[in-house]
Amino acid sequence: MGKITVIKSLALPILIQSLTVLPNPPDDKIKEIQNIFFSFLWSGKPDKIKRKVMIGLFENGGLKMPDIRSFCYSLKMTWINKLLDPLSISPWKTLLIDQYNRLGADKIWLMTPDGIQEISSNFNNFWKDILLNWNILNTVTNDTAEGIMKQSILLNKSLKINNKTIFYQRWVESGVFFIGDLLDKNSNFFTLKEFCEKYNLNINFLEYHSLLHMIPKDWKNLITTSEKFTHISNDKFEFITNNKKSCQFFYRKFLSMYTERPTKQEDKMCEELGTHIENWDFIYSLPFCCTKNNKFSMFQFKILHRTLATNALLQKYGLKETNLCSFCNETKETIIHLFLECNLVRNLWLEIAALFQVENNLTLILNVENIVLGSESWDISLNLFTILVKYYIYTCRFNTSLLTLTGVIAMIKNSYQIEKISTSFYRSHIRAREKFDCKWELIKNIVHM
Ligand SMILES: [Zn+2]
C-alpha cells in the first residue's frame, strides 16, 4: 500500500499534464508505463496477484493500484466538461466549434456507438481520441421503448436506407436527431405535414416514408405503445453536464471495464472452507475498514488472496523442505490449519472465547469462515480482533515462539496504543473519536485497558 501511495502521489502527477493535453499514447507505451509501475510495486519480481485484480477497488479484491489506461482516458473526459460548459470561453473552442455544431453539437455525445465512431473521423486526433474513449463506455438498448427513442437517427447502423446510414445536414440544423424527435406527444409518428410544420423542413413524401420504413417493425410496436421520453440523455452525459469535476467518476467507469475479481481464488477458498460464500464485497472491504494500520490490512489481504507464506505454499515453490505445520509438525500447514485447526492454535482460541464469555458475556462462534474471512454478523470490533489474533499466530509461527494468552494480550495492547497515537489528529473530532472507541470497546474489556 505504501508503494501504491508513492506511485499515486509522486509518479502519476508527472504524467497528468502530457496525458491531458496530448492524444492518447499508443497502447504499447501505456503498457510500458504500467510495467514500470508494477515492476516497482513487486520490487522487480514476478507479480503475485493479477494486474486486473490489483487495479480494482477494495470491495472487488483490489488494492486501487492506478490503471494508466483508465487514468489517461478519464483525464481526457475533462475536456468534454469544458466543451459543454457555456461559461468556459477559450480560443481552442473557436477552432473546434464550427465542425462540432455542424455535426450535431452536444447531441453528438448521445449518438449510438457506431455513429460516434463514424463522426470521430471528422475531428483531429486529439478529439477523435476523446470521442472514441467516450464510446468505450457507450451502450445501446433495443429492447425498451426508452432505449429506442433515445437512439440517434443519424449514422445509426440499425437504420439504413438503400443499405446506407443517413446523415442529413438540414435535419441536424432543424433539431431532428433522435427517433424520439419523430414522435408526437402521444408517441405516434408525425404525419408528413405535422413533421414539416414542426421542424420547418420541406421534405417530400417519399423521403419521409423511406425514413419511417427503415425503423424496424418491433421497435415501432414497442415505442408507439409506450409513453414518450422527452428527456434524451444518459448517466454519463448527465454527470458531465452537472459536475465540473468528472475525472474520478470516469476513472471508475473505465476501471470497471478493465478490472476483474479474483474468482479463481474465491472458488478455491470456498472449496477449502467447504461453504458457498456470497458476500465477497464485505470480506474484501473488511481489512480496510477495520484498521488504518496497513500491516494488518495487508496481512488479511494476503490471506484472502492466498499469498500468505504458509509452509504448504513455501514447499510448493521449493522454498522450504517440509510442508508440515510449524507448531504441531504433524499436519500440512495450510491457512485453515494454521489459523484454526491446529491443536495448539485451537487451544488459544478456546482460551480467548472463554475470556469473551466472562468479560463481554458474548459467545464467540469459532468456525472456519468467521476466523479466516471475517463475519458480517460480527461488528467491526470482533472482526478487527480476529485479524489481530491471526497476526499474532503468524508472528509466533515466524519467530518459532510459543502461543500464549498473555502474548496475544500484550500484542493487542501494543496495537491499540499505536493506532491511538497515529489517529490522535482525527480523535480531536468527536465523531472520529466515537468511532475509534466503539471499535476498540469489546477488545478493551478483555485485555483490561
Ligand atoms: Zn499444526
Residue 422 pLDDT greater than 80, yes or no = no
Residue 301 burial (CB < 10 Å; 0-12/13-18/19+)? buried
Query: Ligand 1 centre and the CA of 308: distance in Å?
Result: 16
Grid coordinates in use for 178? 433522435
Query: Ligand 1 centre and the CA of 97: distance in Å?
Result: 72
Query: Ligand 1 centre and the CA of 313: distance in Å?
Result: 15
Q: How far is CA 447 from CA 47, 385, 411, in A?
A: 39, 11, 10
Query: Ligand 1 centre and the CA of 346: distance in Å?
Result: 9
Note the pTM of the prediction, 2 decimals.
0.84
- Mean pLDDT to the nearest integer, 158-176: 81
Least confident of 132-136, 145-149, 277-281, 389-393: 145-149
Predicted pLDDT at 427: 59
Query: Ligand 1 centre and the CA of 342: distance in Å?
Result: 4
Query: Ligand 1 centre and the CA of 405: distance in Å?
Result: 17
Query: Ligand 1 centre and the CA of 369: distance in Å?
Result: 18
Element (H, E) at 353: helix 343-360
Least confident of 23-27, 32-36, 168-172, 342-346: 168-172
Non-local CB neighbours of 81 within 8 Å, separated by 6+ positions = 240, 243, 244, 245, 246
- Cα separation, 104 vs 175, whole angstroms: 8
* pLDDT tens for each residue of 346-387: 999 999 888 888 887 888 888 888 899 988 888 888 899 999
Q: Which three-class secondary structure string do you get for 287-342? A: HHHHCCCHHHHHHHHHHHCCCCCCHHHHHHCCCCCCCECCCCCCCECCHHHHHHHC
Query: Ligand 1 centre and the CA of 324: distance in Å?
Result: 8
- The interaxial angle of helices 91-102 and 68-84, nearest 10 deg, is 80
CB contact burial 375-394 (16+ within 10 A = b; e otherwise): beebebbbbbbbbbbbbbbb
Query: Ligand 1 centre and the CA of 337: distance in Å?
Result: 6
- Cα separation, 281 vs 411, whole angstroms: 29
Residue 199 pLDDT greater than 70, yes or no = yes
* pLDDT tens for each residue of 283-334: 999 999 888 888 999 999 999 999 998 988 888 889 988 889 988 889 999 9
Predicted pLDDT at 424: 67
Please state, as a whole number, how many other Cβ atoms lie within 10 Å of the Cβ of residue 337. Answer: 20
Grid coordinates in use for 28? 504499447
Predicted pLDDT at 304: 93
Which candidate, 33, 39, 30, 38, places its Cα nearest to that of 69?
Answer: 30
Query: Ligand 1 centre and the CA of 331: distance in Å?
Result: 6
- Cα separation, 383 vs 120, whole angstroms: 52
Residue 4 pLDDT greater than 90, yes or no = yes
Backbone angles phi, psi at 178, to 5 degrees: -110, 160
Residue 211 pLDDT greater than 90, yes or no = no
Query: Ligand 1 centre and the CA of 43: distance in Å?
Result: 32
Query: Ligand 1 centre and the CA of 339: distance in Å?
Result: 9
399: left (phi over 0), alpha (psi -120 to 50) or beta: alpha
Cβ pair 421, 427 in contact under 8 A = no
Query: Ligand 1 centre and the CA of 319: distance in Å?
Result: 19
Predicted pLDDT at 33: 93
Query: Ligand 1 centre and the CA of 61: distance in Å?
Result: 28
What is the maximal distance between C-alpha atoms in the chain?
92
Query: Ligand 1 centre and the CA of 429: distance in Å?
Result: 45
- Cα separation, 133 vs 380, whole angstroms: 40
Query: Ligand 1 centre and the CA of 336: distance in Å?
Result: 10
How many C-alpha atoms does 102 have within 13 Å on its Cβ side?
A: 8
- Cα separation, 405 vs 412, whole angstroms: 11
Query: Ligand 1 centre and the CA of 328: distance in Å?
Result: 4
Cβ pair 212, 189 in contact under 8 A = yes
- Cα separation, 138 vs 115, whole angstroms: 11
Query: Ligand 1 centre and the CA of 396: distance in Å?
Result: 12
Cβ pair 180, 232 in contact under 8 A = yes
Binned at pLDDT 50, 70 and 90, residue 68 comes out as very high
Query: Ligand 1 centre and the CA of 393: distance in Å?
Result: 11
CA dihedral 248, 249, 255, 256 (to 10 degrees): 150
Predicted pLDDT at 56: 94
Binned at pLDDT 50, 70 and 90, residue 242 comes out as confident
Residue 92 burial (CB < 10 Å; 0-12/13-18/19+)? exposed
- Mean pLDDT to the nearest integer, 3-14: 93
Residue 65 pLDDT greater than 80, yes or no = yes
Query: Ligand 1 centre and the CA of 165: distance in Å?
Result: 70
Q: What is the mean pLDDT of the chain?
A: 87
